[in-house]
């Protein structure tokens, strides 16, 4: 889709949390290809500046806003800065996330709170700010929340992550229902195992993976590879655009594993 001449987000202002790396960066790039003005958030100004330069090289107006998703004041300020610099928020993508490992038995209150702060509270208040802007202008808008297939239950070592991300499924549907008459469409994507820089670091740090882990993991999957960020980004752009029609309140499983199906 990103190589098409169709510009699905022409002149839209798109805010992407966690847009400096991984899936968020791929979504930001796809949005730029589709004619959007793009704001990305992240914690590292040097990475943010490089990301903006890449987006501007694609012909997009772009900006970086330093934001630690664990700090709700910074989250709210990121939305305010976007409106101040670009005049509005047409589309929001909540992509920032924390995947630190923890089981039911060893998760501390501090670790649990970290997951809730980044994976639940931050997107909640970004959504709040974006929706306030849309409603205040009497304008339609779209939001896509990046969730996870682990929201169906997940692995034992992801207990706080599953708890915080599962909340996003309910929040997505609740907000979509609450604001359907405002013509604000809100959907979620449950992504499966995805190839990113962060996943590579996680596999090495928490699972002792070697240099061949990606090839081995792909060989064990039906499609022979992990999910690819550019392919997921295409779906996100579709959901952000008018081409997805009236769909709202949907949480789409984007994976090669079928929940509830067994050999």
Cα distances from 165 to residues 9, 182, 216, in angstroms, run 27, 26, 27
Closest to 21 measured CA to CA, from 45, 47, 2, 46: 47
Residue 262 is a catalytic residue? no
Name 244's Cβ contacts closer than 8 Å, sequence gap at least 6: 185, 187, 238
Please tell me which residue in 124, 161, 244, 248 is annotated as part of the active site. Answer: 161
* Residue-wise DSSP of 217-250: HHHTSTTSS-EEHHHHHHHHHHHHSGGGTT--S-
With CA atoms as reference, report the closest residue to 162 among 111, 128, 208. 111
Alpha-carbon distance of 105 to 48, in angstroms, equals 37
Place of tokens 């501007």: 56
Quick one: which of 128, 135, 130 has its CA closest to 86? 130
Q: Name residues whose C-beta falls within 8 Å of residue 217's C-beta, 6 or more positions apart in sequence.
A: 193, 226
Task: Return d(Cα 190, Cα 152) in angstroms, integer.
Answer: 9
Active-site positions read 161
């Amino acid at each position: 889709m990103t190589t098409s001449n169709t510009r699905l987000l022409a002149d839209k202002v798109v805010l992407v949390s966690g847009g400096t790396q991984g899936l968020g960066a791929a979504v930001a790039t796809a949005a730029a290809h589709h004619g959007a003005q793009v704001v990305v958030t992240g914690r590292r100004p040097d990475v943010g500046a490089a990301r903006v330069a890449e987006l501007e090289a694609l012909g997009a107006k772009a900006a970086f806003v330093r934001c630690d998703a664990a700090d709700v004041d910074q989250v709210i300020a990121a939305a305010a800065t976007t409106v101040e610099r670009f005049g509005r928020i047409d589309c929001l993508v909540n992509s920032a996330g924390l995947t630190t490992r923890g089981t039911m038995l060893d998760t501390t209150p501090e670790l649990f709170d970290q997951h809730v702060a980044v994976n639940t509270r931050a997107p909640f208040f970004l959504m709040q700010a974006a929706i306030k802007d849309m409603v205040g202008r009497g304008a339609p808008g779209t939001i896509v929340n990046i969730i996870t297939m682990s929201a169906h239950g997940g692995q034992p070592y992801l207990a706080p992550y599953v708890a915080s991300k599962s909340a996003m499924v309910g929040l997505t549907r609740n907000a979509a229902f609450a604001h359907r008459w405002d013509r604000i469409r809100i959907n979620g994507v449950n992504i499966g195992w995805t190839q990113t820089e962060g996943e590579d670091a996680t596999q090495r740090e928490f699972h002792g993976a070697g240099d061949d882990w990606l090839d081995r993991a792909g060989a064990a999957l039906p499609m022979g590879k992990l999910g690819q960020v550019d392919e997921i980004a295409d779906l996100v752009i579709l959901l952000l655009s008018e081409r997805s029609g009236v769909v709202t309140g949907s949480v789409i499983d984007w994976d090669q594993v079928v929940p509830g199906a067994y050999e």
